[in-house]
Amino acid sequence: MASEDVPKKEYFEQLDRFNVELVKFQEWIKFKQLKLLLIFEGRDAAGKGGMIKAITAPLNPRYARTVALPAPTERESTQWYFQRYAAHLPAGGEIVVFDRSWYNRAGVERVMGFCSEQEYLEFTHSVSEFERMLVRSGIIILKYWLSVSDEEQEKRFKERLENPAKRWKLSPMDLSARSKWVEYSRAKDAMFSFSDIPEAPWYVVNSDLKRAAHLNCIQHLLSQIKYQDLTPEPLKLPPRQKAGNYVRPPIEAQHFIPALWPRPKSTENSVATENPPAADTKTEEGRTAEGTVKKSMIKKGKGKKKGEKGGEKKGKKKNP
């Protein structure tokens, strides 16, 4: 396995090409009224969310949606197990992406003891029949398992702990699952043994290298349905209606948000000073943001002519 991920430049160039193909792919699904269900499963921090974003970013959200259900309510717990998932299945022309799915029962519920032995055994007997029924009804099911090594998962957990913008991704459940790595491995192996069926096989994606995983998975997805390019011819813009006697209301009559960007060079430093990040409490986030602003202000002062400081000429007063 390669030890280095795809270079960012190469990744984004290929992703741009894939974005065009994904739009064609979706247009074909709409045209043929196909029903596509994508299921993404994997360990915590395997990259399911990022993978789903990479796939759905260029799609028309009216015909593509992501489903990430929370823990079942008390009422849902008394229903047929597949009932709450069935409500989100795709209609004709739609792509539905499950960020985790009914396979919770084979994974986290099994390992963490959230279901009984009888409930688990019933799932092992019924899930394949349920999926065969969906396929017979016209739903195309593509199941992807994102495989992440224990070393890479550990690295991503640490990154989430250190990054305030990503801490929400790490739950107490994720941390408790670290001590059950082998149990999760056994549960995954068992799940594959009873649910890897010809009608809806499991496709494993090596996700240690995120960018490579995105490209490999998108390439595979596009290869699963033969599609044609239905891109319409460019439309011709009609002439815009003339204003006539229409008079715009004065700007003062409307609530415009503060226009802090783009910042004029002559006032860049003053804007940064007058509108500092909300970091009075000196939290970690505040210190980081404050340091970024200060570094930016210092850089703005470099390369000025002698007698100038941050864009102001010596001896001249700054415009108010």
CATH number at residue 163: 3.40.50.300
Give residues with Cβ within 8 angstroms of 309, minimum separation 6. Answer: 301
Residue 71: inside a domain, yes or no?
yes
Residue 294: inside a domain: no
Question: How many domains are contained in the chain?
Answer: 1
Tell me if 23 is assigned to some domain.
Answer: yes
Does 160 score more than 60 pLDDT?
Answer: yes
Least confident of 15-24, 37-46, 93-102, 297-306: 297-306
Residue 306 has pLDDT above 60, yes or no: no
**The predicted structure's pLDDT at residue 269:** 58
Asked if residue 274 is part of any domain, the answer here is no
What's the mean pLDDT when you consider all of the chain?
A: 86
Q: Is the pLDDT of residue 102 over 60?
A: yes
Domain region containing 128? 8-223
Would you say residue 164 has pLDDT above 70?
A: yes
pLDDT confidence band for 283 (50 / 70 / 90) = very low
CA nearest 192: which of 154, 139, 134, 147? 147
Kindly state whether residue 231 falls inside one of the protein's structural domains: no
202 within some domain? yes
As a whole-number percent, the residues of the chain with pLDDT over 90 amount to 67
The mean pLDDT value for 275-279 works out to: 48
pTM score:
0.78
Segment 74-92 mean pLDDT: 98
Q: Calculate mean pLDDT across residues 249-270.
A: 82
Report whether pLDDT(198) > 60: yes
277 in any annotated domain: no
Look up residue 211 and give its two tokens: 């960018």
In a domain, 156, yes or no: yes
